[in-house]
Structure formats: structure tokens, C-alpha cells
Structure 1
Amino acid sequence: MKDLILSYLSTLGLAGIFLGMILEALGIPGFPGGILVILAGFLVHEGVLDFHSALVAAFTGNTVGASAAYLLGRNIGEPFFIRYGRYLRMPPGKLQEAQELLARSAGTFLVVGRFIPGLGNITPYLVGLARCQFGTFLVYNSIFALAWGSLYLSLGMLFGQHWPRIWALLQTPIIVIAAIITGMSILYYLWRRKMLNRGS
């Protein structure tokens, strides 16, 4: 995956970061947005990319993607997400829990919630569903996008020349974790299907 993403970034440059962040902000399940920006930081360290230009590309792509997700949430409505939200890892239970968090503090939810795995990818949709003011959403999303982009680019720069060694150390655990998650997901799906068939 590392070589594929590096090739993608080396070929498309800033446009690759911009497009990748749109997909990341739209909450596409499984899209390695964090890894993409960390590797972009590695290319900054290598002198291939400029830090400020990469940050602007990540920030702009995130803003475009998150705004599109916000508008989808606002205009499509809750029934759609109750029915199809599982494809965005947004089952009804998680949807209700996130809506309760949003009701307590929109600002905290918009900034801090975006860093929480499993919640960050659906945050813009939920804010749209809650019909928060677009200006408010844009301000807090901008704070998040700037902080997130700076953090991940800086991590890539910090790893620098040691990144290939770090990736080699992480690669096996990542594969094992992915295999475990996939296996558990399949078992859960089969169990749930069995329960539904038994109930009917």
C-alpha cells in the first residue's frame, strides 16, 4: 500500500492530496486518508512537496468533501441514513448516539468528534441532518481540517528517513488486525443473518 500511495502522490502531487482528502471527508469506508497525508509529509521531508502547499491542498480537499457530506445530510434526510447508513458505517444505534453528542455541544462534536475512529467519517452528514448553520459548520470544520492536516503532515516529516523502517514494523500488525476485523465482520454478519432468519 505504501508504494502505491507514494506513486500516486509522486504522479499527481498536490492534486492527489486534494482528491484524496475529498474522499476521506466523504467518509468512504476503508479509504486510507490518514496514511496518504502522512506519506505526503514524508515527501515533504524528501523535498518532493512543499509543506504549506500540501497543507493547503489537504485543507481545501477536506473542506470540499466535508461540505458535500454536510449538504447531502441536510437535503437527503434521516430516513435515507437509517436505511443505507450501514454502508457508511452509520448503523441506527451509532446514528442516535452521535446525534445526542451533537446536541450537547456542536463545536466539540465537530472538532473533537472528527478524531474519533468510526465517528469522524459520519460527522459532516450528522451536522447536516441536524440542520446546523452552514457557517458554524464551516468554521469548526476549518479548525479540524487545519489541525488534522498539520498533525498528519508533521508525523510524516518527523518519521522522515526512518519511515520505510517504521512501515516495515507496522505492516505485519496492520495486516493481522485487518484480517481479524474482516473475520469478525463476516462472523457477525453470518450470526445476524441467522438471528433474522430464526426470527422470521
Structure 2
Amino acid sequence: MIMNWIISMMEALGAFGVGVAVFLENVFPPIPSEVVLPLAGFTTTQGDLNVWAALICSVIGSVTGAYLLYGLGRVIGAARLRQIADKMWLVDASDVDKSLAWFDKYGKYSVFFGRLVPGVRSLISIPAGVDKMNPLLFGALTAVGSTIWNSILIWSGVMLGAEWETVSLWFERYSTVIYAVIALILAYVLFFLIRRRIRT
């Protein structure tokens, strides 16, 4: 089981293991930070791990994973996205240009607040790379947003102690609401694209 492996890694590597786990969570979403970080917080109360070291390593892991996905976005690039869009049924190259224009305007807010939203936290790095956002700005916004998210989860584990798993239940409910909102947005976008295609 993935979580058993993550727990073993944190036990063996300490704070560095927390950073590795968070890095993997960024590039492999099935590893949930909502479980890893509260557990790390609880572990700090047992004297086996320093809470500040765990937080710092977790932020480094978040930023490193985000940069990996940012690099993927840079490799894909806007030109390739336009080519892909032209071959798709409901979208075209102009939609890519509109999306990039929107990201030019609101990208800073998207990267920062996206770090606080399950399902978006990792993926927001890809459009930032496609849009070629300033890498230093991207890193700074990612670091600040990740520090807030990781701190909440780690300190929740610290405060709840042996009941740290309760945090996962709270954030599971939060995630469910977020996913429902995302599903509604995607449904609306699909409806809009189909209606546009029918009218043209």
C-alpha cells in the first residue's frame, strides 16, 4: 500500500522523507497531502521529528514538484497546444489564446490560491509553464501558498495528536465540495462549447 510505504519512508528519513512524500504528492496526486502532513505533524509530538524541519522540507518538496510540472508546461508550449486544439472537436486555437490571455491577467492569483485547492494544487503549475510565467515569481507564489496549506495540515496533526486522522476527514469533506464545484464548472464549459459548435 502506498501510504504504508510513505510512512516507512518518513520514519527512515525524517524531515527529508516528508519533503520527498510531498514532492511525490505534487506529481502523483493519489498520494494525499491531507494524510501525509497531519501524520507528519503528529510524529513531531512523539519526539522523532522536528516540526519546523518537517514544514520547511514539505515546502521544498511542494515547490520542487511544482517546478517539475511547470517545466512540463514549458515543454508543451502554447504552439503545441494550438495544434492539439485545432484537431479537437469542440475547441480551436483561439481558445488557447483566450486562455493564455486570461492567465496573463490572473495567473498570479491562480498560482497562489490554486495551492489551497485540492485537485488544482498541482495542475495549476502546468498552465503557468505554458504561459511562461516568470519562474522566480512562480516559485515565490508557490512557496507562499504551499507554506499556508502545509502549515495548516501539519499543525492540525500537532494539535490533534493521536486523533490526527480526523484532519483527513475534514479535508475530505472540503475536497468533495471543491470537486463538485469543479465538476459544475466543467459541465458549464462543455455545454458552452457544444452550443457554440452547434451555432457555427
Once residues 121 and 32 of structure 2 are traced to their aligned partners in structure 1, the CA distance between those partners, rounded to angstroms, is: 13
Aligned runs of 1:160-199 on 2, under 5 Å? Answer: 160-163=161-164, 166=166, 170=169
- 1:98 Cα shift? 7.4
Partner residue of 2:128?
127
Where does structure 1 lack aligned partners over 5 or more consecutive residues? Answer: 84-91, 178-200
SS in 2 for 1:115: coil
- 1:6 Cα shift? 3.3
- 1:23 Cα shift? 1.5
CA spacing shift, 1:160–1:62, aligned 2, 3 Å: same
Provide TM-score, normalisation by structure 1: 0.67
Give the conservation status (yes or no) of the 8 Å contact 1:46–1:160. no
- 1:162 Cα shift? 2.7
Once residues 158 and 61 of structure 1 are traced to their aligned partners in structure 2, the CA distance between those partners, rounded to angstroms, is: 23
- 1:48 Cα shift? 1.5
CA spacing shift, 1:74–1:48, aligned 2, 3 Å: same
Q: What's the CA shift string for 1:54-105, capped at 9, x where partnerless?
A: 011101111111112111211232547997xxxxxxxx8xx97975763442
Give the conservation status (yes or no) of the 8 Å contact 2:74–2:130. yes
SS in 2 for 1:112: helix
Give the conservation status (yes or no) of the 8 Å contact 2:77–2:130. yes
Partner residue of 1:56?
56
Say yes or no: does 1:145 pair with 2:158: no
Among all aligned residue pairs of Structure 1 and Structure 2, give the percentage whose two residues are the same amino acid: 24
Partner residue of 1:158?
159
SS in 1 for 2:143: helix
Partner residue of 2:44?
44
Give the conservation status (yes or no) of the 8 Å contact 1:98–1:126. no
Aligned runs of 1:57-136 on 2, under 5 Å? Answer: 57-78=57-78, 79=80, 102-136=103-137
Q: What's the CA shift string for 1:138-185, capped at 9, x where partnerless?
A: 111111121122111111111113336x48x95xx99xx9xxxxxxxx
Partner residue of 2:187?
none
> Quick one: which amino acid aligns to residue 156 of structure 1?
G
Once residues 3 and 144 of structure 1 are traced to their aligned partners in structure 2, the CA distance between those partners, rounded to angstroms, is: 24
SS in 1 for 2:31: coil
Give the conservation status (yes or no) of the 8 Å contact 1:73–1:127. yes
Where does structure 2 lack aligned partners over 5 or more consecutive residues? Answer: 85-90, 177-200
SS in 2 for 1:77: helix
Once residues 44 and 29 of structure 2 are traced to their aligned partners in structure 1, the CA distance between those partners, rounded to angstroms, is: 27
Partner residue of 1:197?
none
Once residues 82 and 116 of structure 2 are traced to their aligned partners in structure 1, the CA distance between those partners, rounded to angstroms, is: 21
Once residues 7 and 81 of structure 1 are traced to their aligned partners in structure 2, the CA distance between those partners, rounded to angstroms, is: 44
SS in 1 for 2:164: helix
